[in-house]
């Protein structure tokens, strides 16, 4: 007994249809992966995100900033090799109000990174992970107080 | 039940080394809390000058101090280790292949060594002028 | 149920029966399209109208080609996970009334889109330690033991494998090799109550740069989880186990 499908196959099967194959191939291909932004933008987009994400973003920004500062600092300190006059020229610029402001920014970065790092060391070791939000905000408040004191001292020394 | 998570390449560091890497980052970070505090207080909050910034003579006096020199040396090493580990952690988040990770590790070790070496040259020369 | 009966049932749930028109912006993509786009719809909404109700209304009354996944409609299957106004949520229990302005609906992030709001969950499942028991012995077996302290006991079965945690994770946003919060939480749960699973192989699996040590404690997975798994806390607990583990050459 012949298979009815054979007849149907014989009557409907055309030659290769490249356009149809291309459409089928496109539909089989993996679809786009939706991301929250291009590349590392997702690390820094804290809109509608929790305190933990804010902490992560700020830690990353301050960390990268401090790495940049490390090399900037070594470069600046290299001026000491040029002797007293070279360093004095630098100090004339470094004691300008704008630069003192940058010092305050540096202290802000150190406090944010350092205090959140303390939270990460504790929580990441498995201690009090369910209290991480309270720990984060407490440390940031403490840091803000320290920053205020430092800023008053630095800016007030003019 | 040996598990194989999806990965672009399984790196071959000995078992336990990833926890050691994290531990070194955490330990160096906690150590820096103390070291950075000492460094910042000494260089911004002690001297009676604008911004607490030291003059040339004051810097030499500071770095030539037999107590300060080792503290600043340890600070240099620890901050460089923490920076390199932190950079590594950020770059690993891009999902690197095993080969790229190995190159990254070597590159960061090299950069760290150069940084510490230059820092020691700097403070060594300054201490010798004190 | 005919389309008309379904539409009628839809209206009785609140969609189409409300006093307000809510503006919705829905992600659209069919494989083969050059790029994705958003379609806007005005959906009649009442107090009980959920995002799922609204999407279903769109399917029935405006655009039958809109693709979305759903099953239980009461937050126990995890099938309808998507992003609402940028935040991960289960569509079936997210009310439009709790959202202000235009409601933007997108598929989960960090997973390939198959069709509109439907993502390919295979990369999510593949991240789990393999092989892993899909069917677990019943908790009523006499030899099953609970961890010490009933208060601390949490069933892994809380995890409905919805994928919201992976979508919310900022590390998974850039690293497709990261195994993700669900798989790590699962591994920690196996350590807590192994039921014959090999502890050492679980720990070896978790002790990798793309596993437990890739997490940066953003805790977005815990924020997103609709089922109280608290994956971030479990990852930290897993790390505590790993720290105590002696390294040995492989």
Cβ distance of A129 and C29 shorter than 8 Å: no
Cβ distance of A33 and C170 shorter than 8 Å: no
In this prediction the pTM is 0.84
B125 pLDDT exceeds 90?
yes
Domains of chain C, first to last: 3-119 (3.10.20.30), 122-243 (1.10.1060.10)
Look-up of token digits 């099967």 = A13
Phi then psi dihedrals of residue C64, to 5 deg: -70, -10
- Closest by CA to A76, choosing from A99, A56, A98, is A99
Taking chain A (158 residues) in consecutive chunks of 10 residues, what is each chunk's mean pLDDT? 41 64 74 78 89 95 97 95 92 89 94 96 90 94 96 81
pLDDT value at residue C217: 95
Interface check for A13 against chain B (CB to CB < 8 A): the answer is no
Cβ distance of C113 and A125 shorter than 8 Å: no
Spell out which residues of chain C touch residue A42, defining contact as CB-CB under 8 Å: 109, 170, 173-174
Size of interface B-C (CB pairs under 8 A): 94
Contact B126, B60 (CB under 8 A): yes
Domains of chain B, first to last: 20-129 (1.20.1300.10)
**Region B94-118: what's the mean pLDDT?**
95
Percent of chain C with pLDDT over 90: 57
Cβ distance of B8 and C179 shorter than 8 Å: no
pLDDT value at residue B50: 76
Nearest to A47 among C86, C223, C243 (CB): C86
Q: Would you kindly state where each structural domain of chain A is located, as residue ranges? A: 48-156
pLDDT digits (tens, 9 = 90+) for A83-121: 999 999 999 998 888 998 999 999 999 999 999 999 999
Alpha-carbon radius of gyration of chain A:
30
pLDDT value at residue A37: 73
Spell out which residues of chain C touch residue A123, defining contact as CB-CB under 8 Å: 217, 236
Q: Which of C136, C170, C177 to mutate to test the interface with B (most CBs of B within 10 A)?
A: C177
Min distance A98 CA to chain B CA atoms (Å): 11
What CATH number does domain A48-156 carry, 3.40.1350, 3.90.25, 1.20.1300, 3.10.350? 1.20.1300
Q: DSSP characters for A36-96?
A: SSSTTHHHH--TT--HHHHHHHHHHHHHHHHHHHHHHHHHHHGGGGG-HHHHHHHHHHHTS
Length of chain C: 250
Spell out which residues of chain B touch residue A63, defining contact as CB-CB under 8 Å: 86, 90
Cβ distance of C247 and B7 shorter than 8 Å: no
**Region B43-61: what's the mean pLDDT?**
85
Eight-state DSSP code of residue C33: B
Spell out which residues of chain B touch residue C132, defining contact as CB-CB under 8 Å: 1, 3
């Amino acid at each position: 007994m012949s298979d009815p499908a054979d007849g149907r196959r014989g009557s409907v099967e055309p030659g290769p249809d490249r356009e149809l194959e291309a459409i089928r191939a496109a539909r089989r291909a993996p679809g786009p992966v939706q991301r929250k932004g291009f590349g590392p933008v997702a690390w820094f987009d804290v809109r509608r995100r929790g305190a933990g994400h804010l902490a992560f973003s700020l830690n990353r920004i301050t960390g990268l900033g401090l790495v940049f500062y490390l090399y900037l600092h070594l470069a600046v300190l290299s001026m000491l090799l040029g002797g007293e006059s070279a360093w004095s020229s630098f100090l004339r610029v470094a004691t300008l109000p704008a630069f003192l402001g940058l010092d305050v920014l540096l202290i802000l970065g150190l406090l944010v990174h350092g205090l959140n790092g303390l939270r990460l060391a504790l929580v990441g070791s498995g201690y009090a992970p369910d209290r991480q939000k309270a720990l984060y905000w407490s440390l940031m408040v403490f840091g803000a107080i320290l920053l205020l004191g430092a800023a008053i001292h630095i800016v007030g020394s003019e | 039940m040996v598990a194989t998570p999806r990965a672009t390449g399984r790196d071959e560091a000995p078992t336990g080394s990833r926890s050691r890497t994290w531990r070194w980052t955490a330990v160096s970070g906690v150590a820096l809390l103390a070291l950075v505090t000492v460094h910042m207080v000494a260089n911004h909050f002690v001297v009676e000058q604008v911004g607490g910034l030291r003059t040339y003579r004051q810097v030499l006096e500071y770095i030539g101090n037999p107590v300060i020199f080792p503290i600043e040396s340890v600070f240099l090493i620890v901050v460089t280790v923490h920076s390199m580990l932190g950079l590594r952690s950020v770059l690993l988040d891009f999902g690197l292949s095993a080969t790229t990770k190995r190159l990254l590790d070597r590159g960061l070790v090299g950069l760290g060594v150069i940084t510490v070496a230059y820092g020691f040259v700097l403070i060594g020369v300054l201490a010798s002028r004190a | 149920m005919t389309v008309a009966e379904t539409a009628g049932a839809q209206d009785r749930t609140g969609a189409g029966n409300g006093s307000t028109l809510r503006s919705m912006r829905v992600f659209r993509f069919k494989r083969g399209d050059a790029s994705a786009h958003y379609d806007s719809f005005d959906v009649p909404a009442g107090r009980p109208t959920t995002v799922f109700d609204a999407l279903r209304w769109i399917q029935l009354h405006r655009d039958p080609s809109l693709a979305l996944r759903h099953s239980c409609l009461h937050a126990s299957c995890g099938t309808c996970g998507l992003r609402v106004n940028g935040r991960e949520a289960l569509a079936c229990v997210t009310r439009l009334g709790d959202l202000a302005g235009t409601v933007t609906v997108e598929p989960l992030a960090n997973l390939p889109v198959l069709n509109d709001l439907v993502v390919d969950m295979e990369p999510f499942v593949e991240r789990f330690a393999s092989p892993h028991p899909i069917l677990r012995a019943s908790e009523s077996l006499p030899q099953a033991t609970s961890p010490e302290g009933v208060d601390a006991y949490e069933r892994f079965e809380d995890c409905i494998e919805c994928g919201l945690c992976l979508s919310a994770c900022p590390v998974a946003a850039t690293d497709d090799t990261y195994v993700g919060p669900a798989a790590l939480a699962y591994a920690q749960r196996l350590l807590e109550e192994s039921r014959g699973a090999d502890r050492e192989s679980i720990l070896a699996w978790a002790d990798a740069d793309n596993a437990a040590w890739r997490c940066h404690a953003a805790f977005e997975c815990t924020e997103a989880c609709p089922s109280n798994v608290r994956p971030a806390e479990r990852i930290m607990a897993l790390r505590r186990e790993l720290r105590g583990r002696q390294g040995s050459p492989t």
